[in-house]
A = this chain, B = another copy of it.
Amino acid sequence: MEKVTIKKLAEELNLSASTISRALQDSYQIGSQTKQRVLERAAQLNYVPNYHASGLRKKVSKTIAVVIPEVADSFFAQAINGIEAVAQDSGFHVLIYLTHESSAKEQAILKEFQNGRVDGVLLSITAETTHYNYIQELITRGIPLVLFDRVCEDMLTTKITTNDFESSYLATKHLMDCGCHSIALLSASNSLAISKNRLAGYKQALTDRGRHFKENIVVECSKIEGKNYLLIKELLSRPDRPDGIMATVEKQATSIYQVCRELNLPIPEKVKVVGFSNLQSAAYLNPALTTITQPAFAMGKAAATSLFKALKRTNGSIVAESQVLSSVLHVRDSTCRL
C-alpha cells in the first residue's frame, strides 16, 4: 500500500494537482460533480493530506504550545482541560511543555518556537523567570502569546489572571476573623507578579487590622521536591510558631497536613490553614481544607480563546485584552469548625 498524494489522485482522475487541491479545500472554483468525484476517490484511497507540506506552504501549523511549570497540579490540569476544549473546537492541536520551574528550560523551549512548529503560545512562567526579553522576542517575531495565571505584568500582551490581591486579602482577613494572631505566608517566589500580589493582599489585610508584618514569617518555596516539607517543618517548630498559614501553592497544603500530624498540631485548633487549591477532594480532607479556588477551566478557555482570536487576525497581533477572573473562598474546617 503506497503513499497516496495529491499527484497520485490527479493521475487517477485525469485532473491536475491544483484541481485536486482546490476540490479538497471545497473551493468555489470547482464544479460540484468534480468535487464529488475527487472527494469520493480520496476517501476510497484513504488520502490524508501531508501535514508538513501544507504547513510549509501555508506557513501555519494549526498547533499551539502550552508551557507550564508542571501538570501534577489540579489548577494546571483543569486549565489544560479548558485549553484543549477550545483548541479541539477550532481544529488546533496542543503541545505541552513542562518547565519544572527552570527558567533556562523555559527559554530554550520558547526559542525553538521561532521555527514554525507552533502558531501561538500559552504561557505560565516559572518561579525563576525574572527577565522577559525572550518572551517579548517571540511576540515581536509574530508568534502571539497569551500569559495566564503566572504572568509578567509589564508585557504588552493578553494576560488572564485571577484577583490575587483580593483573594489573598480575603483569606488573610478570614484567618484573623478565626482568631489567628500570627499568620505565615507560603509563597511561590519572590519575583512572580502573582506572588507579589498575594503578598500585597496579605500585608494589606494585616495593616487594615493594625497588625504589623513580620518578614521571617513569609517562606519562599523551593522547587526541590521534598524541600518544602522541611521548610514547613522548620516554620512550625519555631518557638514563636504561627497559628495560621496561608499556602499559595496547591501542593503545599498536603505538606502542611503532614507536618501538623507529625508535630501533633491539630488543625484548626493549633494551626489554621487556607490553601490556594483546586483539589476536588479539598472538602473531604481531614480536616476539610479552606481554599481559595481559581476558575482554572475558565482561565484555560479564556486564554485559548484570546489566542485564537489573535491567530485569526491577519496580522496576528495581540490586542492586550486581559481578563481578571474571580477566585472563590470556600470556608471549611481547616480554619474553623462549624
Contacts and interface: CB of A to CB of B under 8 A. Distances in A.
Contacts of A48: 111-112, 114-115
A49 interface: yes
A21 B161 CA distance: 43
A193 to B, nearest CB: 26
Interface in A186-237: none
A98 B93 CA distance: 11
Contact of A254 (B46, B93, B280): B280
Contacts of A286: 284-288
Contacts of A254: 280-281, 284
A78 interface: yes
Contact of A116 (B1, B52, B88, B285): B52
Interface in A54-80: 55-56, 61, 63, 70-74, 77-78, 80
Contacts of A88: 98
Interface residues of A, number: 51
Contact of A80 (B71, B281, B284): B71
A330 to B, nearest CB: 15
Contacts of A163: none
Contacts of A283: 258
Interface in A111-134: 111-112, 114-117
Contacts of A52: 52-53, 55-56, 61, 116
A73 to B, nearest CB: 8
A7 to B, nearest CB: 14
A285 B261 CA distance: 13
Contact of A51 (B94, B117, B279): B117
Contacts of A114: 46, 48
Contacts of A117: 51, 93
22 contacts: A1-B141, A50-B116, A52-B53, A52-B116, A56-B56, A70-B81, A71-B77, A71-B81, A71-B84, A73-B77, A80-B96, A88-B98, A94-B96, A94-B97, A96-B96, A254-B281, A254-B284, A258-B283, A258-B284, A279-B281, A281-B285, A285-B286
Given A94-B95, A94-B97, 7 more contacts: A52-B52, A55-B55, A71-B77, A71-B84, A72-B81, A93-B95, A257-B284
Interface of A: 1, 46, 48-53, 55-56, 61, 63, 70-74, 77-78, 80-81, 84, 88, 93-98, 111-112, 114-117, 140-141, 251, 253-254, 257-258, 279-281, 283-288
In the A-B complex, the 7 residue pairs with the smallest Cβ-Cβ separation, listed nearest first, are: A286-B286, A52-B56, A52-B55, A51-B115, A51-B117, A48-B114, A257-B284
